[in-house]
Amino acid sequence: MKPEHKKVPALPAIPHQDSDCRGVASVLARVGDKWSVLVIMLLRDGPRRFNELKRMIGGISQRMLTLTLRGLERDGLVTRTVFPTVPPRVDYELTDLGRGLSDPVIKLGEWAQQHLPDIDTARKNFDGRNSED
């Protein structure tokens, strides 16, 4: 085999700082996580209790919901309020920052739902072409 492209131009240098890229990547990882997206969508209508969220999100384990809520709280997207009752009541609610994120998350979810048949068709076509190799 001979390489066909011997003279490939280098990409122009883009001024940035590695820490900026890592920071943005960590934010995108949080908001791109499927469980975070679902939690944000469900909290858009107001505060919810842990077990209410767990019932509404099919397939999520208690541990994963706990980790997701903790991560969203750490990032300032969700608040956790403990009420001094017996048993204690804990509500989760979007912060202003989280509500600002909910609009693009809802749009992304709507887009995915609307285009799911197109994506399924494209995947089947791709898989069919590549299974012949």
**Residue 114 domain-assigned?**
yes
C-alpha span between 102 and 49 (Å, rounded): 18
- From first to last of its 133 residues, the chain has per-residue pLDDT tens of 455 545 555 555 555 555 678 778 877 777 778 899 899 999 999 999 999 999 999 899 999 999 999 999 999 999 999 999 998 889 999 999 999 999 998 888 888 889 999 999 999 999 998 876 6
**Count of domains for the chain:** 1
Residue 63 lies in a domain: yes
Q: Does the reported pTM lie above 0.75?
A: no
Residue at 13 is within a domain: no
Sign of the dihedral defined by the CA atoms of residues 16, 19, 20, 24, in that order: positive
CB-CB neighbours of 26 under 10 Å:
10
15 located within any domain? no
Q: Which domain holds residue 98?
A: 21-130
CATH code at 69?
Answer: 1.10.10.10
Burial of 71 (0-12, 13-18, 19+ CB in 10 A): middle
Within-domain flag for 101: yes
